[in-house]
Structure 1
Amino acid sequence: MTEPGRGLEEAERVELTVGAVAPGGHCVARVDGQVVFVRHALPGERVVAEVTEVHKGFVRADAVTVLAAAPERVEPPCPYAKPGRCGGCDLQHVTPAAQLEWKAAVVREQLTRLGGLTPDELDGLGVRVEALPGGPLGWRSRVRYAVDAAGRAGLLKHRSHEVVPIDRCLIAHPAIQALPVLTPSGARWPEGDAVDTVASTGGDVTVSTVAEGVATPVDGPAEVREVAAGREWTLPASAFWQVHPAAADTLVGAVLAALEPRPGESAWDLYGGAGLFAAALADRVGPGGRVTLVESAAQGVAAARENLRDLRQVEVVAARVESALARRRITGPVDVVVLDPPRSGAGGRVVRELAAAGPRAVAYVACDPAAFARDVRTFAGLGWRLATLRGFDLFPMTQHVELVGLLLPPD
Structure 2
Amino acid sequence: MTSWLGRTLEAEVGAVAHGGHCVSRVDGRVVFVRHALPGELVLAEVTEDKGGSYCRADAVRVLRAAPQRVTPPCPLAAPGKCGGCDWQHAAPEFQRELKARVVSEQLSRLAGIDRTVVVEELPGGMLGWRTRMRLVVGRDGRAGMRAHRSHDVVPLPDSPPGGAGPCPIARAGMLDSVVSRRWQPGAELEVTADADGNTHVRELSTVRGKRRARHIRGGVCVEHAAGRTWKLDAHGFWQVHPAAAEALASVAGQWADAPRGGRAWDLYAGAGLFAAVLAGQVGPDGEVWAVESGRRASADGAANLPDLPQVRWHSGRVEQVVRQLPEPAVAVLDPPRAGAGRAVVESIADAGPARVVYVACDPAALARDVATFAGRGYELSGLRAFDAFPMTHHVECVALLARS
Interval containing the TM-score (normalised by the shorter chain): over 0.9
Question: How far does the alpha carbon of each residue in 1:47-104 deviate from its partner, in whole angstroms, 9 at most, with x for none?
Answer: 0000001131100000000000000000000000000000000000000000000000
User: Cα gap change, 1:192/1:235 in structure 2, threshold over 3 Å: closer, same or farther?
Assistant: farther
2: CA distance, partners of 1:368 / 1:356: 24
Structure 1 residue corresponding to 2:255, chosen from 255, 258, 267 = 258
Structure 2 residue corresponding to 1:319, chosen from 316, 319, 323 = 316
Question: How far does the alpha carbon of each residue in 1:278-333 deviate from its partner, in whole angstroms, 9 at most, with x for none?
Answer: 0011111111211010001111111111111221111000111110023x1x121x
2:146 is the alignment partner of 1:156: yes
Corresponding residue of 1:398: 392
Task: Return the letter of the residue paired with 1:20.
Answer: A
Structure 2 residue corresponding to 1:33, chosen from 15, 28, 46 = 28
Corresponding residue of 1:170: 168
- For structure 1, the 5+ residue unaligned runs are 1-5
Corresponding residue of 1:282: 279
8 Å contact kept, 2:128–2:171: yes
Question: How far does the alpha carbon of each residue in 1:365-388 deviate from its partner, in whole angstroms, 9 at most, with x for none?
Answer: 001101110001111111211111
Task: Return the letter of the residue paired with 2:23.
Answer: V
Structure 1 residue corresponding to 2:295, chosen from 268, 293, 298 = 298
Structure 2 counterpart SS, 1:20 = strand
- For structure 2, the 5+ residue unaligned runs are 158-165
2:343 is the alignment partner of 1:349: yes
State the 1:214 CA deviation. Answer: 4.6
Q: What's the RMSD between the two structures over aligned residues?
A: 1.3
Question: How far does the alpha carbon of each residue in 1:193-238 deviate from its partner, in whole angstroms, 9 at most, with x for none?
Answer: 111111101332112211246532112x221111111111111212
Normalised to the residue count of structure 2, the TM-score between the two structures is 0.94
2: CA distance, partners of 1:32 / 1:131: 39
Structure 1 residue corresponding to 2:89, chosen from 88, 93, 99 = 93
8 Å contact kept, 1:40–1:82: yes
2:120 is the alignment partner of 1:145: no
Task: Return the letter of the residue paired with 2:220.
Answer: E
8 Å contact kept, 2:5–2:49: yes
Structure 1 runs of 4+ aligned residues shifted over 4 Å read: none
State the 1:404 CA deviation. Answer: 0.1
Structure 2 counterpart SS, 1:181 = helix
Count the aligned residue pairs.
391
Question: How far does the alpha carbon of each residue in 1:4-29 deviate from its partner, in whole angstroms, 9 at most, with x for none?
Answer: xx666101001111000001101000
2: CA distance, partners of 1:216 / 1:65: 43
Normalised to the residue count of structure 1, the TM-score between the two structures is 0.93
Structure 1 residue corresponding to 2:214, chosen from 199, 213, 216 = 216
Structure 2 counterpart SS, 1:211 = strand
Structure 2 counterpart SS, 1:146 = strand
2: CA distance, partners of 1:78 / 1:214: 32
State the 1:175 CA deviation. Answer: 3.0
Task: Return the letter of the residue paired with 2:32.
Answer: F
